[in-house]
Chain A
């Protein structure tokens, strides 16, 4: 059974700091890994999708890497802003089968 772990569970940083969120998964036979953002009381917003054949994806201040063999992904946020405060979730999928989510990292960026 696939298990996805995210560390840390919560993180508080001052505005402007660069930060890294970690995601690890136990079964490396995945099709893709997706990073999401969830604001309180809201649904999930997709940030980056990395296919299993890719090593990284970038969007603006966000960069996500994938090391499938070691079962790890990182989400790098550059020059953090208070608007980045949210819960960040990673999710892995295999085929059309169920997507497995981590429990998330709750990020607070302090002005």
Chain B
């Protein structure tokens, strides 16, 4: 079946522009996670959704970052007034379980470059 998909795969933004990154999780998966991966580093947690509820947003680096999952399926990560330090790969993952016992399936990521 289809895995987690993300779009766009690559995004170049000028500093100050707003961007929106999309994640389509595996159908029926309850949990959805967003991560930020800087070059040469492991992914860093940004936020977690259980269905449409955003239960943890403690990893969002600033109030310029906003995520939503209004119908409990597709999710969008929005970054306002992008800065150069926002350049990274943004990974989305979904899981069938809601308790954290479940295996996470990752999308290919969106590579954001802010110039």
Contacts and interface: CB of A to CB of B under 8 A. Distances in A.
Contacts of B72: none
A49 interface: yes
A89 B42 contact: yes
Contacts of B50: 96
A44 B100 contact: no
Contacts of A99: 33, 45, 104
A24 B111 CA distance: 29
Nearest to B49: A96
B42 A98 contact: no
A31 B105 contact: no
Interface in A93-111: 93-104
A20 to B, nearest CB: 19
B42 A34 contact: no
Contact of B99 (A34, A41, A96): A96
Contacts of B107: 43
A94 B43 contact: no
B65 interface: no
Interface residues of B, number: 30
Bin the interface of chain A by size.
20 to 34
Interface string B1-40: 0001000000000000000000000000001010100001
B104 A43 contact: no
21 contacts: A31-B99, A32-B101, A36-B106, A41-B111, A44-B91, A45-B106, A46-B105, A46-B106, A49-B103, A51-B101, A89-B42, A91-B43, A91-B104, A93-B100, A94-B100, A96-B56, A96-B98, A97-B56, A98-B33, A98-B48, A101-B44
Given A4-B42, A43-B106, 19 more contacts: A31-B101, A32-B100, A34-B104, A43-B109, A46-B106, A91-B42, A91-B43, A91-B104, A93-B100, A95-B100, A96-B31, A96-B50, A96-B99, A97-B48, A98-B48, A98-B56, A98-B58, A101-B35, A103-B42
